[in-house]
Structure 1
C-alpha cells in the first residue's frame, strides 16, 4: 500500500471490490458494528478491535497482534 486511506477511500475500496461492510467484517473476523464505527469516524482505531479494523481497511499503519486467546489455548 502506498498510503493511508481516508474513510471515503476505504468505502470506495470496498465498493470497488463489490464487498459490503458486513462481508468484509465476516471475512476478517471482526465486528461489523465496529467496522461501521471506524468508517464513520466514531472510533479512531487506537486500540483493540477498532485498531484491527483500521489497519485491515488501510486507514492506519500498524500491526495486528495475534489473538491473545490463542496464547491461552496453547498452555498445557
Structure 2
C-alpha cells in the first residue's frame, strides 16, 4: 500500500513540519497520550481514538467517523 507511513516515518513527518506530538494532538483534537502510544507501537490503531490517530498520521488507511454523542440528561428532558 503506497503512502502508508511507518511509525518512524510518521515521527519524521511531524519533525519535518516542525510540529510536536502535543501540537499535532491539539490540532486534531485527539489525546496526546494515545498519539504517543500509536507512535511507539503500544497501540495498534485498530479502533476508537487510536484508529483515528493512526489514520491522521498516515500510518493506516481508514475512515474517521465522528462517534455519536450520548445525550445528556438535560437534552433528553427538553426533547
TM-score by length of 1: 0.88
Relative to its length, the structure with more helix (as a share) is 1
Give ranges in structure 1 of 5+ residues lacking alignment.
none
Equivalences, count = 74
Shift of 1:67: 3.1
Shift of 1:68: 1.5
TM-score by length of 2: 0.85
Aligned counterparts of 2:29 and 2:53: Cα–Cα separation in 1: 10
Residue 62 of structure 2: aligned partner: 62
CA offsets, 1:7-65, max 9 Å, x none? 00000000000000000000000000000000000000000000000000000000000
Question: Is 2:28 aligned against 1:28?
Answer: yes
Residue 7 of structure 2: aligned partner: 7
Give ranges in structure 2 of 5+ residues lacking alignment.
none
